[in-house]
Structures are given as C-alpha cells and as structure tokens.
Amino acid sequence: MEINKKIKLHGFDFWRSIGSPKYVCAPMEHYSDLPFRLLTKKYGCTLGYTPMIHSKHASESDKYLKGMFSTCP
C-alpha cells in the first residue's frame, strides 16, 4: 500500500510554487478589509492576505464572522 505524502516546500521552492508574486500585501489590523484588498489588486498587488480571524469568536458569532471576513468572485 503506497501512501501519497505531500512534500512541504520551503524558501524559494514555495515562492516559485505560488507563481513568484512580485508585490505582496500583508494584513493590517482594521485596514485589510475587502475594499482595501480590491484596491491593492487593482493597482498591481499579486499576492494579498486577509486579516487573521479568531476561530473561537467566529464559531460563536455569525455577526463577528460576517464583519471580519468578506469576499467576492
């Protein structure tokens, strides 16, 4: 029985595997909501992150989750 193990990539191997993005926008507290991320994409950001979401609050409150995380097609 053969088990498929995924190899964890590190450094430039990982960077190349995600397309070698040229401009990266990291999350900023209260400033990385959807409109900001859409603007960074419009002006050339090739990799953007969403803010960190607290899993306990997200599992206990739909209002928290809807307020913290939004996306679009």
Instruction: List, for residues 38-48, the tens digit of each pLDDT value.
Output: 898 899 999 98
Cα 66 to Cα 27: distance, rounded to the nearest angstrom:
17
Output the DSSP codes for 33-73.
Answer: SHHHHHHHHHTT-SEE-PPP--HHHHHH-HHHHHHH-----
Domain boundaries, the chain: 21-68
Q: Which residues of the chain have pLDDT under 50?
A: none
Provide the pLDDT for residue 2: 63
Q: Give the strand pairing for 47-48 and 24-25.
A: parallel
Q: Which helix (H) or strand (E) holds 13?
A: helix 11-17
Residue 1, pLDDT score: 58
Give pLDDT, residue 46.
Answer: 92
